Amino acid sequence: MNLIALGVNHKTAPVEVREKLAFTGTDIGETIALMKAKAPEILEEVILSTCNRVEIYARVTDVRLGVEALKKFLCEYHEIDRETLDKSTYLYLLEDAIEHLFKVSSSLDSMVVGEPQILGQVKDAYRAARELSATGSILNNLFERSFNVAKKVRTETAIAENAVSVSYAAVELAKKIFDDLSDKVVMLVGAGEMIEIAAKHLVAQGVDNIMVTNRTYERAVEFARKLNGEAIGFDSFYEELNRCDIVITSTGAPRFIIRKELAAKVIQERHHRAMFFIDIAVPRDIEPSVNEIENCYLYDIDDLQNVVAANMVERDKEAKKAEKIVQSEVSQFLLWLDHLEVAPSIVALKDKAENIRKSELEKTLGKLNGLSNKDREAVDRLTSSIVNKVLHPPIVNVKKVAETKDGHTYLKAFRRLFDLGDGD
């Protein structure tokens, strides 16, 4: 079975190369149609294109010809030189291709291991290819199996449970303090990338009461609009702090913008209800002694990074468990492929042996004059019986080994020993 995975990702190619090779949603249909027309070596295909990877999974008639056809097409379609492509791409064949897809779907190959977005992206890629009739029984089964593997990894491991980004870690810490965040009021001081990411995580947790302040008021208004929140003037945000349960800051100010005296006044106005401060600015926005105030919880960037580091260790442990699941599932899929291939291999061997027998029989009978029809039939039965008895042991054995974990290796050797070709 000639299955291949050809691609680039964040490990093998810089963003400028990935950008050149990327496909948009509208490109996919055109690309698959062109490949069908230009590359008959490609029998089935799925194109996965995300910000971190561009991969083509394919079943081909011949590995060498199929890989060459894909590379040639990518160079022509994206107008990229072959040397750059060859330096950036990786190629996986059969078992390695299956394993790679299972790892991608399970987010074991992601920049952030355990992130959930990739599975949806793989599903979208497969759905698009299937709607364009670009897949058949092999890739259909392979991708459906990959979704089951991803589900199994998430069900049987805690790979996605530990926050491994500073912004997400901040939100997870807030959940530990408040349990339910949906009724909490949040103040975002600044509008940088890390605050934006934290805001997305907060919204995902059901937070819908968000205030935004920034030195540039227009920026605060723009950001607040995205979040369906309220923009607050930077000079007056102090007056609103007593309404806030969670305050996240990232301003780049040269000195503290929230000091202990202010925080103490605010917590008193709140009748000592808990307040959570997240300072992800460098230099810091919030005076460290705020953490000394009862019911004030302050975490700065170093605290959050320590949480992330600890969580990375835990996630690595879970990734090892996930790897074992993937390996087991790869073996199961190879076993399914072997069952598909063993019957055609046996038929091919019998046909080849029968053709040889008939050819040699005709040559021999042509030299033997005076044989009656009865004698000819006897010789025919004799040679047929000999061939069947010679073939019986290898056929029985190949059926048995096809059901073992090394079945594919034996089946490949079986086809090679009897010169039956590699199949497709």
Domain boundary residue, one of 133, 161, 189: 161
- Confirm whether 315 is domain-assigned: no
- Confirm whether 422 is domain-assigned: no
The mean of the pLDDT values for the chain is: 89
User: Which CATH number is 122's domain given?
Assistant: 3.30.460.30
- Confirm whether 292 is domain-assigned: yes
296 is catalytic: no
- Confirm whether 273 is domain-assigned: yes
Are 142 and 188 within one domain?
no
- Domain, as residue range, for 35: 3-161
Are 172 and 148 within one domain?
no
Pick 404 or 346 by higher pLDDT. Answer: 346
Predicted pLDDT at 257? 95
Are 153 and 15 within one domain?
yes
Are 102 and 248 within one domain?
no
- How would you write the chain as a 3-class SS string? CCEEEEEEECCCCCHHHHHHHCCCHHHHHHHHHHHHHHCCCEEEEEEEECCCEEEEEEEECCHHHHHHHHHHHHHHHHCCCHHHHHHHCEEEECHHHHHHHHHHHCCCCCCCCCCCHHHHHHHHHHHHHHHCCCCCHHHHHHHHHHHHHHHHHHHHCCCCCCCCCHHHHHHHHHHHHHCCCCCCEEEEECCCHHHHHHHHHHHHCCCCEEEEEECCHHHHHHHHHHHCCEEEEHHHHHHHHHHCCEEEECCCCCCCCECHHHHHHHHHHCCCCCEEEEECCCCCCECHHHHHCCCEEEEEHHHHHHHHHHHHHHHHHHHHHHHHHHHHHHHHHHHHHHHHHHHHHHHHHHHHHHHHHHHHHHHHHHHCCCCCHHHHHHHHHHHHHHHHHHHHHHHHHHHHHCCCCCHHHHHHHHHHHCCCCCCC
For the full predicted model, state whether its pTM sits above 0.75.
no
In this predicted structure, the answer to whether residue 162 has a pLDDT above a threshold of 80 is no
- Confirm whether 318 is domain-assigned: no
- Confirm whether 324 is domain-assigned: no
Are 172 and 146 within one domain?
no
Are 179 and 129 within one domain?
no
In this predicted structure, the answer to whether residue 386 has a pLDDT above a threshold of 60 is yes
Domain boundary residue, one of 161, 184, 200: 161
- Confirm whether 326 is domain-assigned: no
In this predicted structure, the answer to whether residue 424 has a pLDDT above a threshold of 60 is no
- Confirm whether 256 is domain-assigned: yes
Q: Sorting pLDDT into bands at 50, 70 and 90, what band is 344?
A: confident
